[in-house]
Structure 1
C-alpha cells in the first residue's frame, strides 16, 4: 500500500513504531497530520513532538504502540521539562493526547496512554515578547531607506504589524487584493488563526505607507500576487515567492540594528508594541482585543506592557 509523504515530518517519514505497526496504523498516522491539523506551524510542532516521543520509546525498547503506558508518557514529559520550557512541554503533551485519541478512534490502540498525564504547571500574566517604546518604533520606521523596493516593502510590513496588530503569519499570507478601499478609506483583510478572517481600517500612517509601497513597486496592478514577496537574487525585482517568517525575522533584526535599537526584537514585537501604545494613549482593553482579533481580553492582557513603566518608576525610588 503506497502512503503519501508529509512535509511536516522531517528526516524519516515515519517513526519506527509507526512504520512497523501495519498499514492501518501508518495510514491513520499520516491522516492525522493531513486531515486534523490545518495550521502549518502547529503541524510542524506536533510532528516534532510526536516523532520525538516515539523515537524515545524506540530507544527504550518499546516496540509496539499498545505497549506504551501513562508511565512512559509521564517519564518523557518529566525529561522534556528539564530540557525545554513549560509551554513547550504542554504543547508536546497536547500533541500526544491528540494523536493518541486519533489512533484510539481509528481502533489502532485500545486506550490513550497520554490522557491521564498532567503537564507542568504554568501561569502567565504578562507576555515575554520584547516591546519597543513608541519613539523607538517611530525611529525604526523613519530609518528605513525607501528609495528601494525592499525598503518600501519592509516599512509597510512593520507598519502593518504595529498599526493593525497583525500577526506575522497573517501579514505574510496577505495578497495585494487584501488591501482595499471601503468607505473612502484603505482597509486590510487578515486571515488569522483558526480560519478567522478579520478586516480593519488603516491608520493614516499605515495608509500612506501601503499606498507608497503598492504604487512605487507596481504591485497595485497585480491583485492576486503576494503582498510581501522576496527579492530575486542579484536583482532589485520582486519574485513570485512570498516572504517567509524567518526572512521577516532576519529583516526586522537587521533594520533594528541599523536604527541603533538595542532591544532584541522579533516579528511579534510589533503586535505587542502596537497594543501597548494604543492602551497607553487611552484605548480600552476590549477594543484592543477586537482590533487584535482576540477571542478573550485575557489574551490581549499578555500584550499590555504598561506595568513595565510602573515597575521601572518604582525601582528608581530605591535611592542610596
Structure 2
C-alpha cells in the first residue's frame, strides 16, 4: 500500500462542518492530511486538534467550515489555555492555521480565520525532560540482567539513546543493517524526521552493547529485520516485530524502578542525559548539535542541564 493511501486511511473522519460545506471542501480537507503532512505523529496531533476545534464550533452554532471566523478561533484558543500547556496550545493553533491556509489556496474558504489569532507567549530556555546524572545512568545500565535476550535488547536500546543522542522514534525504526563497520569502527545509522539520514561512530561502551546484543540474540544474520524487537509470548525470544515506542517507554519505567531510581524518566531522558554528560566533559555545543542532528544549537540548549548542578550547589548555601 502506498504512503498516500496509508495517510488517507489514517486521516480523521470528516467533521459535520466539513461535510456541510460540500464535496469540494471534503476532498480538500482529506488532501490536507494525506498530502501535506508526512510525519504520522504530526498528522495524528493535527487531526486531534482540528477535530476538537470543529466539534466545538458545531456546538457553538457554526453551520459550516466556511463560516468559521477569527472570533471562533480566538475563543477556542482561550479555552485551551485554561487546561493545556502553552506549547500544546500553540501546536493546536498551528494545526488550525495550516489547515485553513490549505483551504484558502484551494478556494474553499475566502480567508484564514486563524491568521490574525495569536497564541499564548512561550519562551523555553531549558527543557523539562527529567535527566539522570552519570552515576544514575550507570546504575540503570548495570542493573539490567543481560543473560536473556530481553536484557541484551534493553541495555542496547538505552545505551544507544545515551551514547548517540538518538531519539526513540529513530531508534525503534532501525534495521539490523543500520549497525555496521566502517574504518574498523562500529557505526549506527539513524533515520531522523524528514527522512534525513544521520550516521555517527559508536562510543566504545555502545559498541560493546550492540555487539553483545547482535551476537547474543543471533539477529545479526537478518540485516533487513528490525534492530529492536518485541518478545514472543511464552518463549522469551525475540520476535520479528519492531518494538513500539509505547513498549519502549514501559520498559524504561520498569527498568528504572527495578534499579531504584526515583526520577520519573522517559525515553527522551537518555537523549538529554547523554548531551548533558557530553557538555560537562568539555564537549562543545556546536558538536553536540551535530551529533544530535539538531538544525540549531538553540534546540540543543534545551537539553543542556548543567545549570541544574549550579542551582543545587547554590541552594545548599542556605544555612539556617
Same fold (TM over 0.5): yes
- The Cα of 1:7 is off from its aligned counterpart by 2.0
Structure 2: gaps (5+ residues): 1-6
The within-5 A match list for 1:231-270 is 231-270=231-270
The superposition leaves residues 97-127 of structure 1 with CA deviations (integer Å, 9 ceiling, x where unpaired) of 1110111111111111001111100011011
Distance 1:19 1:48 in 2: 18
- The Cα of 1:67 is off from its aligned counterpart by 1.0
Q: Name the counterpart of 2:293.
A: 293
**TM-score (norm. length: structure 2):** 0.96
Q: Name the counterpart of 1:308.
A: 308
SS in 1 for 2:263: coil
Post-superposition, which runs of at least 4 consecutive aligned residues in structure 1 deviate over 3 A? none
Distance 2:122 2:317 in 1: 31
Distance 2:21 2:236 in 1: 52
Q: Name the counterpart of 1:48.
A: 48
SS in 2 for 1:125: coil
- The Cα of 1:200 is off from its aligned counterpart by 0.2
The within-5 A match list for 1:31-46 is 31-46=31-46
Q: Name the counterpart of 2:230.
A: 230
- The Cα of 1:239 is off from its aligned counterpart by 2.1
Distance 2:66 2:243 in 1: 43
Structure 1: gaps (5+ residues): none
Aligned residues of 2:164 and 2:291 also touching (Cα < 8 A): yes
CA RMSD of aligned residues (A): 1.0
Distance 2:11 2:30 in 1: 10
Distance 1:19 1:235 in 2: 50
Distance 1:274 1:280 in 2: 10
Aligned residues of 1:6 and 1:30 also touching (Cα < 8 A): no
The superposition leaves residues 56-92 of structure 1 with CA deviations (integer Å, 9 ceiling, x where unpaired) of 0011110111210001000000000111000000000
Which range is displaced more, 265-274 or 20-29?
A: 20-29
The superposition leaves residues 207-261 of structure 1 with CA deviations (integer Å, 9 ceiling, x where unpaired) of 0000110111111000000111111222222222211111111000000000000
Aligned residues of 1:161 and 1:270 also touching (Cα < 8 A): yes
Distance 1:241 1:100 in 2: 38
The superposition leaves residues 34-66 of structure 1 with CA deviations (integer Å, 9 ceiling, x where unpaired) of 111111111110000000100000111101112
Distance 1:319 1:191 in 2: 50
Q: Name the counterpart of 1:190.
A: 190
Pair 1:215-2:218 in alignment? no
**TM-score (norm. length: structure 1):** 0.96
The within-5 A match list for 1:47-196 is 47-196=47-196
SS in 2 for 1:283: coil
Aligned pairs, number: 314
Q: Name the counterpart of 2:4.
A: none
